Amino acid sequence: MNIITKKTELSTVIEKLKSEGKTVGLVPTMGALHEGHISLVKACKKGNDIAVVSVFVNPTQFNDKEDLKRYPRTLDKDVTLLEKNGCDYVFAPSVEEMYPEEDTRVFNFGYVESVMEGARRPGHFNGVGQIVSKLFDIVRPHRAYFGMKDFQQIAVIKNMVKQLHYDLEIVPCPIIRETDGLAMSSRNTLLEPEYRKNAPHIHKVLEEATHLTSQMNVEELKKWVVDEINKNPYLKTEYFEIVDDTELKPIQDWKENNVKVGCIAVYAGKIRLIDNIVF
Ligand code: PAF
C-alpha cells in the first residue's frame, strides 16, 4: 500500500494504472475509520482492480467550528487498518494541498440539499460538493463508494455527478451497526459513556416504528418516534422525516408507491448523530 499526499502524484499514478486497463474505485473518508468504512473499502476492492481511499477532514463542510476542532484524527491507526483491508493507495493531503486558495464555488443541488441536514447545516453540502468534486477530478475513478448512513449526502452527490457530467458510478453501501444497533460513526468515539450507552435507543425506536405503519398514519408515526426518543433523558431529536429515496420529498401516505426512508438527527449531549431506516 502506498501513501500519497500530493494531488499531482496521485493523478499521475492513477492515470498510468488506467492506461494499463485497470479499473479504479475511490472511497472518500474523513478518517477515524471504523468497520463501516472498512465495508466500503472491501466493496471497492471487490468491484475494482485498484482501491484508493482518501483520508481528509474537509474544513469547508463543517458549519460548526467546534465540531471541526473536535473531529477525531487518527491517521496512523487508519493507515494500519487500510493496509490490512486491501487498500492500494491512501490519499492523505494537507488542507493547503486541497485548498491552496479559497474554494468559492457555489453549487445548486436543488431540493435534495434544502431539507433535513441541508436545512440545519448551512453550507455543509456545498463543502461536500467542493471536496468530492476535487477528489473525483484528481482520481477520475470508475466507481465511488459512500455509506448509506449519510443518506442525503448520496442524493446530493448523485445530483452533482449528473450536473457536472462525471463518468462514474456512485455505489451506496449499507449502514454497518454496532452489536447494540448504533450506526457506526466516527463521532461515536466522542460520546461520553452514559450517552454511548443510551444512543442505541435511536435505532431501537426506528426499528419498532417500521412495525407500526398499519396502526398510525405518517404524521402520527413521526410524532411517535420523536416522543419515544425524547423520553430518553440522554437524547434530543432534532428532526425526523420520512421521505422518498430519490427526491427526498416528504411521504404523505403509506400507500404511495415509492421506497420510504425515515431519516433522523439526534443530539446525544453535544454530539449530533444521524441514522435512517427503510420503511
Ligand atoms: O461522508 C464523509 O465522510 C464526508 O462527507 C466525505 C464524503 C468524505 C467528504 O468529506
List, in sequence order, the alpha helices (H) in the chain. Answer: 7-19, 35-47, 65-70, 75-84, 95-98, 116-120, 124-139, 151-163, 193-198, 201-209, 218-230
Ramachandran sector of residue 86 (left: φ over 0; alpha: ψ -120 to 50; beta: rest): left
The pTM (predicted TM-score) of the whole model is: 0.97
Q: Give the type of residue at 209.
A: A
Cβ contact 234:192 at 8 Å: no
List the end-to-end C-alpha distance of the chain, in Å, as a whole number: 40
28-55 confidence digits (pLDDT tens): 999 999 999 999 999 999 999 999 999 9
**Residue 222 has what pLDDT?**
98
Model confidence band, residue 5 (pLDDT cutoffs 50, 70, 90)? very high
Model confidence band, residue 265 (pLDDT cutoffs 50, 70, 90)? very high
Q: What is the Å distance from ligand 1's center to 235 Cα?
A: 25
* Domains in the chain, CATH or no CATH each: 2-173 (3.40.50.620), 186-278 (3.30.1300.10)
92-116 confidence digits (pLDDT tens): 999 999 999 999 999 999 999 999 9
Whole-angstrom distance, CA of residue 96 vs CA of residue 124: 20
Query: Which residue pairs, CB below 8 angstroms and at least 24 apart, start in 16-21?
Result: 17/49, 17/50, 18/140
Model confidence band, residue 184 (pLDDT cutoffs 50, 70, 90)? very high
Is residue 237 within 6 Å of ligand 1 at its C-beta?
no
Whole-angstrom distance, CA of residue 269 vs CA of residue 279: 28
Q: Whose CA is nearest to atom 8 of ligand 1?
A: 29
186 assigned binding-site residue: yes
Is residue 58 within 6 Å of ligand 1 at its C-beta?
yes
Q: What is the Å distance from ligand 1's center to 106 Cα?
A: 18
Whole-angstrom distance, CA of residue 3 vs CA of residue 22: 19
55-90 confidence digits (pLDDT tens): 999 999 999 999 999 999 999 999 999 999 999 999
Q: What is the Å distance from ligand 1's center to 21 Cα?
A: 28
Q: Which ligand 1 atom minimizes the distance to the CA of 135?
A: 9
Q: What is the 3-state secondary structure (H, E, C) of 22-69?
A: CCEEEEEECCCCCHHHHHHHHHHHHHCCEEEEEECCCHHHCCCHHHHH
